[in-house]
Structure 1
Amino acid sequence: MRTAGFARGLLAAAGIASLAACTDTPAPPTATPQARPATLKPPAPAPAPDPGPSERSQNLAAYYTRVEASLVAQGLLRTDGGGQDTPYTDTDLLRNFEAIAFRDEYARNRGLIPSNGRERALRKWTGPVRMSVEFGTSVPDAERDADRALVRRYAARLARVTGHPISAGAGANANFNVLFMGEDDRDQAADRVRTLVPNINPASLDLFRRLPRSIHCLVIAFSDNNDDHTYRRAIALIRAEHPSLLRKSCVHEELAQGLGLANDSPRARPSIFNDDDEFALLTRQDEELLRLLYSPRLKPGMSFETARPILTQLIAEQRGGPS
């Protein structure tokens, strides 16, 4: 049997090794080894291998991949900006602007508690918007260049649409920080937000640490200390676990909302400011909403009643006359 023959071979080899040990004794050393120089540093330990994303992060990535596939299969997450099947009138545009620009989706400083549609005054940026892109340690290098390019292109588009100075790549001078971070970067995200806004309220900070799975991404805009209706800083969080289309959709919606279109409306179509997920990317109506918001004739702090006649005139000029 093969097992028996293998056993005899081991025994014979052991006998040879024993004989060699008895007949080939090494000579004692003739010189004392030199002492290790005191200035010689021991080699640095090898870096620990990257463990990769946690199981929780992997599960979340798989979940969002299924979500994207399901939405696309239903004809949702459209990228065409709207067409003949999505007409809207001047009246629709005015109504949607009121719902989206003069109301908040969530109550201020209260986390994810809905605002119940309470009207508020107009808010927007008056100074330049300087965006920067930052990454959690879990985000692979291969994805970072694509994310930077996405934000840079979109910032340029927002600048063209609004006529407002908006740029990306500001670095330390940024006032609109776009964080691509995942489940494994929660503490890093909270620390970064606390550094950017030291006096942030606990409910807002907690969003970055414990964002529920149902919330794909978020943006929080902060008012100027001397003017509650003028934005001075915004922070957007884009989940690193998102597949490409959901990732791009989050960038489009959150960066536009951070400019002042803070609410969603079920009647807005075609629009990304609608929770029905029909459109993934900024639509032609969304561009009109942004153009209205950044008209110099609309001032931060205006009520809708004050802004209504101005908006009516702007819409007529923008769309070539009444509908």
Structure 2
Amino acid sequence: MRLPSLLASLALTSFLTACVATPPAEVSKGFIDGRTTDQGLAVMQAFVPAQPIGVTRGNAEMAADFLDLEFRMESGRALPVLTRFDGPITIGLRGDVPPVATSELQRVLGRMRNEAGLDVSMASAGTQPSITIEFMPKSTLRRAVPSAACFVVPNVGSFGEYMKARGTAATDWGRITHRKQATIFVPSDTSPQEVRDCLHEELAQAMGPLNDLFRLPDSVFNDDNFHAVLTGFDMLMLRVHYAPELRSGMNEAEVAARLPAILARLNPAGQGRGTGPKAMTPRSWISTVEATFAGRSGARLSMADRLIGIARAQGWNDGRLAFSYFARARAKTGSDTSGAIADYNEAARIWRNTPGAAIHVAHVDMQLSAFALSSGQFDEVIRMTDRAVPVARTHQNASLLSSLLAMRAEALEATGRDAEARSARLDSLGWARYAFGSDTQVRARMGDIASLAARGRRG
């Protein structure tokens, strides 16, 4: 299940809301209208196939990750057996299918075939697909499941079937022993990036592991939502899930006994490498994360303080501690600038020492660039975006990339580098179309960032 908003993106929104004291009716002189420019239409960008983000950790640690992904639900409920599809997996589309959906689906299916070795393809016309992807208005999905942007359900072939069967044993993942049919529900009226992100995460969970783990730095199977597309770790988990040594109906002990040999065969570079297994994340920390990001503004700081306290009591020095500092930095934004910057820097320090967390550091650079832009530290914005923009491209995160490029354009313009600024701004607009969808949302985001730069110019 994908959350309705990216936790990693909320901090920038919070920063812009807090720091733009007046409505951003005026934007900087360099702002280009989101629809037309004197160079023509700002065309929506799209990512081309790229080298996937590789596996970064040792097999012993990933074996424990696999078991916790396979035999737990996001609620913490245990799953009795491993389940998977038998034979070829086919995918069908129905409903109000967005223009980008087919190409994005074909791209991710190609990756699943090439990187995970899955026998997966589009369903032939007139046949019943193994997995149906149904698109419908976001408002319809939210009425059914308010906490999800998109989600997958077993043993149904349509939204109508789901509404009739929900709450019954048929749609309970814990009651099935084989996967025969599933449907993924995705909003039709959302941005191209959100469509793509839903396809990646929900297809992977429809076929493979059902859980999300906050401790994973290198995976979309993580509710922090920093990773937007399937990583090398995710593809390895799918490859293990369909390894011939495993079968539907095996319990955790049976799978655990076979995992070392499977991982040694599929990922020989991970043998004897890295740290051992990490402890499960307690529900108290997960519940506090939810309260920190969804709660009232007055309670968020105390919740974030509690997050850090739990993380330290657990003895963590990994991404969960970093995320705790990230959450507290967000809670401090608008009321304690120096404290927020210190917490962002502490989060970045931990993530820099965490394999697979380069995208997390890039998100921190975005937050710190916003502070620097609003305080007139334009050279610092250029320095931070220099290192963060390539990371955002590699990880195919258009919302992060467009925001970084917009900040970079403002800083370049403020330092007299007009030609570079114009190029960065046009690039930003193209990625913003992919990330945010409508012209209205694109212009709002660009206008907010331009207002930060205007504040910085005023000193």
TM norm structure 1: 0.59
Distance 2:90 2:254 in 1: 30
Aligned with 2:150 (options 209, 214, 217):
217
Distance 1:316 1:246 in 2: 35
Who is 2:366 aligned against? none
The alpha-carbon deviation at position 249 of structure 1 amounts to: 0.9
Who is 2:23 aligned against? none
Aligned with 1:162 (options 107, 113, 116):
116
For the pair 1:175 / 2:123, whether they are aligned, the reply is no
Aligned with 1:315 (options 234, 257, 263):
263
The question of whether the paired residues in 2 share the 8 Å contact of 1:133 and 1:151 is answered with no
Counterpart residue identity of residue 86, structure 2 = T
Aligned with 1:132 (options 92, 95, 106):
92
The question of whether the paired residues in 2 share the 8 Å contact of 1:68 and 1:245 is answered with no
The question of whether the paired residues in 2 share the 8 Å contact of 1:68 and 1:246 is answered with no
Counterpart residue identity of residue 66, structure 2 = F
Q: Which segments of 5 or more consecutive residues in structure 2 lack a partner in the other structure?
A: 15-49, 157-169, 274-459
Distance 1:71 1:166 in 2: 37
Quick check: which has more Rg, 1 or 2? 1
Aligned residue for 1:117, secondary structure, equals: coil
The alpha-carbon deviation at position 182 of structure 1 amounts to: 0.9
Counterpart residue identity of residue 119, structure 2 = P
Who is 1:88 aligned against? 57
Distance 2:138 2:217 in 1: 33
Aligned with 1:247 (options 171, 175, 195):
195
Distance 2:58 2:51 in 1: 19
| Identity over aligned pairs, percent | 24
Counterpart residue identity of residue 121, structure 1 = V
Which range is displaced more, 255-264 or 239-248?
239-248
Distance 2:78 2:186 in 1: 27
Who is 1:266 aligned against? 214
The question of whether the paired residues in 1 share the 8 Å contact of 2:155 and 2:181 is answered with yes
Who is 2:67 aligned against? 98
Aligned with 1:120 (options 62, 80, 100):
80
RMSD: 3.2
With over 3 angstroms needed to count, the CA separation of the structure-2 counterparts of 1:170 and 1:154, relative to structure 1, is farther
Q: Deviation string for 1:177-201 (max 9, x for gaps)?
A: 00121146x3xxxxxxxxxxxxxxx
Aligned residue for 2:224, secondary structure, equals: coil
With over 3 angstroms needed to count, the CA separation of the structure-2 counterparts of 1:163 and 1:302, relative to structure 1, is same
Distance 1:71 1:183 in 2: 23
Aligned residue for 1:231, secondary structure, equals: coil
The alpha-carbon deviation at position 67 of structure 1 amounts to: 7.6
Aligned with 2:223 (options 275, 294, 297):
275
The question of whether the paired residues in 2 share the 8 Å contact of 1:265 and 1:274 is answered with yes
Aligned residue for 1:179, secondary structure, equals: strand
Who is 2:105 aligned against? 151
The question of whether the paired residues in 1 share the 8 Å contact of 2:7 and 2:224 is answered with no
- Structure with more of its chain in helix, by fraction: 2
Aligned residue for 1:103, secondary structure, equals: coil
Distance 1:175 1:87 in 2: 32
The alpha-carbon deviation at position 81 of structure 1 amounts to: 5.3
Distance 1:245 1:68 in 2: 15
With over 3 angstroms needed to count, the CA separation of the structure-2 counterparts of 1:175 and 1:81, relative to structure 1, is same
Aligned residue for 2:77, secondary structure, equals: coil
Distance 1:87 1:221 in 2: 32
Who is 1:6 aligned against? none
Counterpart residue identity of residue 71, structure 2 = F
The question of whether the paired residues in 1 share the 8 Å contact of 2:52 and 2:232 is answered with yes
Distance 2:191 2:249 in 1: 38
The question of whether the paired residues in 2 share the 8 Å contact of 1:316 and 1:322 is answered with no
With over 3 angstroms needed to count, the CA separation of the structure-2 counterparts of 1:120 and 1:180, relative to structure 1, is same
Counterpart residue identity of residue 290, structure 1 = L
With over 3 angstroms needed to count, the CA separation of the structure-2 counterparts of 1:169 and 1:309, relative to structure 1, is same
With over 3 angstroms needed to count, the CA separation of the structure-2 counterparts of 1:98 and 1:297, relative to structure 1, is same
Q: Deviation string for 1:270-321 (max 9, x for gaps)?
A: 0000001110100110011011001011111111211112111111122213
Aligned residue for 1:232, secondary structure, equals: coil
Distance 2:13 2:112 in 1: 29
The alpha-carbon deviation at position 164 of structure 1 amounts to: 3.2
The alpha-carbon deviation at position 260 of structure 1 amounts to: 2.5
The question of whether the paired residues in 1 share the 8 Å contact of 2:142 and 2:148 is answered with no
Distance 1:152 1:82 in 2: 19
Q: Deviation string for 1:102-138 (max 9, x for gaps)?
A: 2223xxxxxxxx3x231421010012211011123xx
With over 3 angstroms needed to count, the CA separation of the structure-2 counterparts of 1:238 and 1:300, relative to structure 1, is same
Aligned residue for 2:155, secondary structure, equals: strand
Distance 1:234 1:92 in 2: 30
Distance 1:268 1:170 in 2: 36
Distance 2:8 2:51 in 1: 17
Distance 1:96 1:171 in 2: 38
With over 3 angstroms needed to count, the CA separation of the structure-2 counterparts of 1:295 and 1:134, relative to structure 1, is same
Equivalent residue pairs, number: 217
Distance 1:294 1:177 in 2: 20
